[in-house]
Structure 1
Amino acid sequence: YAKKHGLPMLENVCLPRLGVTKTILDELAPKEDPCNFKDNSERLNWIIDMTIAYPKGEAPNALILMFSMGKFPPIHIHYRVFNIQNVPRDENGLTKWMYDRYVEKEAMLDHFYNTGVFAKDGKETVDTDKLGSFIYVIFYSLWMWWLALYVYAPIFSLLSWKLIFIIMFCYVLYFTYDFIKYFRDFAP
């Protein structure tokens, strides 16, 4: 798609969502109309540009973060803040501005995956949130229990117990393999 439309070829990030960004800016950013008497205090005044880099380029799941006991490498975050007044509002200007940001992100991530840091100071690390990971796992476990009870149970009632056991056994084997793979890859 990028090559066909003459856009930059990005490997570490996706192309930006221009339509969504334009809609958000049109709706939430302060209007430049002097006759606009609506209170602009609740309007969008800043854009926070975040770039997240995962160790070895693989995003961990919550169970891995929770059970790694602090052994999982830190997740790196780089952010910048832009005043909304400095962001172009016309379609061509916004398109160029967005693509420039994403080309910068591509260069930052490429540098990160080659050197291990975003910038020279290397102060972008964030420790693993074990409590947040635990709450995440509990929430989704309860959600899956509800789905199993009210959605999957009627479907599974049409299958034999042997087939259900084989499906669950395969899932447990896959989960165990994935879990062990993470710890083997990121072991100190």
Structure 2
Amino acid sequence: MENIKCRFLGGWLFQIPKGFARFCFILANNLYCIPTYVIWMFLLHPLRKVNSELYWKIEGYFFHWLLAMVALWSHSAGCDVVEVGDDISECIEERTLILANHQSTGDVPLLFACFNAKKHVLPNIMWIMDSLFKYTNFGVVSVLHQDFFIMSGKTNRDKSLQSLANHLLEKYTPLHRKWLMLFPEGGFLRKRKAVSHRYAEKNNLPKFENVSLPRVGAMKIIMNTIGPKSSINNNAKTANSDVKKDCIEWVLDITIAYPNGEPVDFSHIAFGHRGPCQTVLFYRLYRASEIPEETDEMTNWLFKRWEEKETMLQAFYDTGSFPMEYSRKKPCPPKVVVQDYLRFLLLHIFFIISTYIHVRMVLATYHLCRSFCVY
């Protein structure tokens, strides 16, 4: 027993310097990447007035490169991502609404890692996130990228949903964004489960243990505003039948499953103390035209998908794999998402050199201002 305690204590003590080094690296990575992104966007702002399309294309690349840094954090912590289920190649460059269950702070970094390996996804994605994230380190990045911050709480619900509709028309469509990321549960499973159970009891709905009941409000607004059956797209089609409808064409349902039902959280990524693990993403792809238009029918459709997620996740936790009968098409075999280390290296070099240039520019400007003040 004493030997076991000593080995455990020794392993724990070994993790401390390793975790501290990882945390320092991530902190430094934030310091030389995020300010660089902000400064480049500031310097390129005049281009937005002259050639808006080129500006947003460049911004998309910068945004992708930043999220690639986060992908490196999770990958270097031993958190691999495995894809299984439907082939999603059809929707990669099409307007797609992504629906995913939400379990922990690790969900988003792992989705970054998954999307990082796919071309044209992260530069053209728009995230719908809680307004509190505006005040995190990535808040300024999301603001500049024109992501949407949704306000939580009953008092803010109607106003926030109306703002979402306006944002889709003023930002998502004009900027030619493709993927639109939504977590219908509205929060982490551990925080939402009790509320979900109370709502289920009150409305005679099933209680879920592996997911919480989804909210349909944001999805309803999205489909009504830019869905294939929205009045805007129907009017555009009527005016000119040759014009391709500028709307959501696909709905991609992602079920995120962690080993043994133990979610990866950001502390595991930051300090690397969990050890290697594989997070599995199960894809189910739907034509947007398949989604019911009426609120009650859409709610039932979404609840049905979450009821299936509950069953799928329980099977995964019991057997270690998803039941393939839930695939919409012939299921693809499990595939580990491969990251490009050379690309990671080149991106670090770019951000470090950019930071050096920006620091020199700031110092030169400071000395120039001092010179003018002296004279």
Shorter-chain TM range is 0.5 to 0.7
Q: Distance in 2 between matches of 1:4 and 1:30?
A: 34
Determine the structure 1 residue equivalent to 2:206. 8
Map of 1:109 onto structure 2: 313
2: CA distance, partners of 1:113 / 1:11? 12
Task: After superposition, give the CA deviation of every residue in 1:14-48 in whole Å (9 maximum; x if it has no partner).
Answer: 11111111111111212365961265543101100
Shift of 1:95: 1.2
* Conserved? CA contact 1:54–1:76, under 8 Å: yes
Q: Which runs of 5+ in 1 are unaligned?
A: 139-188
What is the distance in 2 between the residues matched to 1:79 and 1:109?
Answer: 13
Aligned twin of 1:99: 303
Give the superposition deviation at 1:89: 0.6
Gap change, CA 1:129 and 1:16, over 3 Å in 2: farther
Structural mapping, 1:117-132, within 5 Å: 117-119=321-323, 123-124=333-334, 126-127=336-337
- Identify unmatched segments of 5+ residues in structure 2: 1-198, 238-242, 325-330, 349-375
Distance 2:317 2:288 in 1: 31
C-alpha change, 1:43 and 1:37, in structure 2 (3 Å) is: same
Q: Deviations over 1:145-183 (max 9, x none)?
A: xxxxxxxxxxxxxxxxxxxxxxxxxxxxxxxxxxxxxxx
Where does residue 44 of structure 1 map in the other structure? 248
Specify whether residues 128 and 10 from structure 1 end up closer, same or farther in structure 2 by C-alpha distance, changes over 3 A only: farther
Identity of aligned residues (%): 35
* Residues matched between the structures, number: 133
Q: TM-score, normalised to structure 2's length?
A: 0.31
Partner of residue 80, structure 1: 284
Q: Assess if the C-alpha contact under 8 Å between 1:78 and 1:124 holds in 2.
A: no
| The structure with more helix, counted as a fraction of residues | 2
Q: Give the 3-state SS of the residue equivalent to 2:202 in structure 1.
A: coil
1:49 and 1:81 in contact (8 A); partners too: yes
> Aligned in 2, Cα 1:36/1:49: closer, same or farther, shift over 3 Å?
same
Alpha-carbon spacing, 1:13–1:130, altered in 2? closer, same or farther (3 Å): farther
**Cα 1:114/1:83, change in 2 over 3 Å:** same
1:53–1:112: 8 Å Cα contact kept in structure 2? yes
SS in 1 for 2:285: strand
Q: Which residue matches 2:221?
A: 23
| Inter-CA distance 3–125: structure 2 relative to 1 (3 Å threshold) | farther
CA displacement at 1:79 relative to structure 2? 0.8
Kindly state the Cα deviation for residue 127 of structure 1 after the two structures are TM-superposed.
4.8
